Structure formats: C-alpha cells, structure tokens
Amino acid sequence: MGIFGMSKKGSDKSRVLNTDNGILGPTFLEGFTEHIKNPKELHSHEWRRKLGSSSGHSKFKIKYYGELHENYNNLIVETNFAPALIVAVHVVSGEEILLFDGCKHGYNAMFCDTFTKEQITNRPITNHYKDSKANDIFEITISTYNGIDYEDEFREEVDENGLLELIDGTKIDFESVKRNGYDSLQIWATNDNGEIIELVSEELA
C-alpha cells in the first residue's frame, strides 16, 4: 500500500461529457453513486463517481478505523495492526455506506495479503474525520484505477460456475473480482467552502 499522485496516472486529453467511460466500479458501491459532469482528466482505466445516499442526498460525515498519515495528515492510512476501514454516514438519514475495507478490497487484499480474524474484526470505526479547519461534512468523490488484465491473468483459474478462489479460500464470481480488485484508490472530500481534501490515496497492487 502507498501514496501516489494524480500525475503518475497520466491524463487523457479528449473531452468527455461525464464519467460514463464503460469502466465498472466496486460492487459494494452499486446504487450509491452518480456521474460527474465534465470530469477533468478522466483516465481510460479509471472509474470515478460522486457518492450519494439511497435517498439521493450527497452530504456525509466520515468515520474510520485507521490513523492519519504522519506527513500528509489529511490522509487516512492503515495502522501498524491492520488496514483501514472507512465508512460514509449520511448527515440526515444516518445511512452508512462502506467506502473502503483494506482487508477485502484491491488486488493485494484479494490475492496477496492474508489477515488474521482479529485484524479483520477488531477494527472499531470510532474515529471521526475533520479537515484542518474542523469541517466534518463533505461531498465525496471516489476513483478506482483498474489497470490489471484479469482476463489474461486469471481466466484459466475460473471454475465451471464462474467463480475464482481468493487467497483466503473464499470463492466469488469473476465479474465481482474484476470490479473490486482495483490496483489503486483515491477518495476526495469537498467541504461546504468548496475546498477539496484528499482522504485516501492507496496503491493496492
């Protein structure tokens, strides 16, 4: 896992009207996102959306297990004990939406890294995120980057039921693997003053 910058991803110069570029996003965010009009530098292998609750509202608070980065203290990162776990909470309804589980999401968590039962279950999401000016209500934008060729790497390992075995022994359908096994993740929060704060920047492969 690590921090990376947008500049490392390059940029697509062709103008696009919204974020519908054919890339499918994480299955656990299905029904909780909406397209962004006229996105800047949307990459061909990037899925980018704005978070929205089931009621259509888009203001959230963030609670998490993890810690803030020592040098970039706007970023939520893993602890020495376990990967981060991040949830958005709708400010009106209280509806909770899982944004990221470092024990489950991304290529490494699915195919390389193993975790104990304690690491998976003993991650209380009791931290509440505030920016440097003590704002705690945000609009959320999420990007996953999907540069791994799953068809080439794993197609022959998919069983007759369309399932692929992960490193922990569980089997899930191949399409969900491709959607949840992204190689990088970025999450941004925009406060009521229009300031954009990067919450998460992880390399996951």
Confidence of residue 17 (pLDDT cuts 50, 70, 90): confident
pLDDT at residue 83, as a whole number: 98
- Give this prediction's pTM: 0.89
pLDDT at residue 165, as a whole number: 97
167, HSE (Cβ side, Cα atoms, 13 Å): 15
Name the helix (H) or strand (E) containing 109.
Answer: helix 107-111
Q: Inform me whether the pLDDT recorded for 15 exceeds 90.
A: no
For range 17-26, the mean pLDDT: 92
Neighbours of 192 (CB within 10 A): 10
pLDDT digits (tens, 9 = 90+) for 93-151: 999 999 999 999 999 999 999 999 999 999 999 999 999 999 999 999 999 999 999 99
Residue 20 identity (one-letter amino acid): D
Task: Name the residue with higher pLDDT: 11 or 175.
Answer: 175
Q: Where are the domains of the chain?
A: 25-203
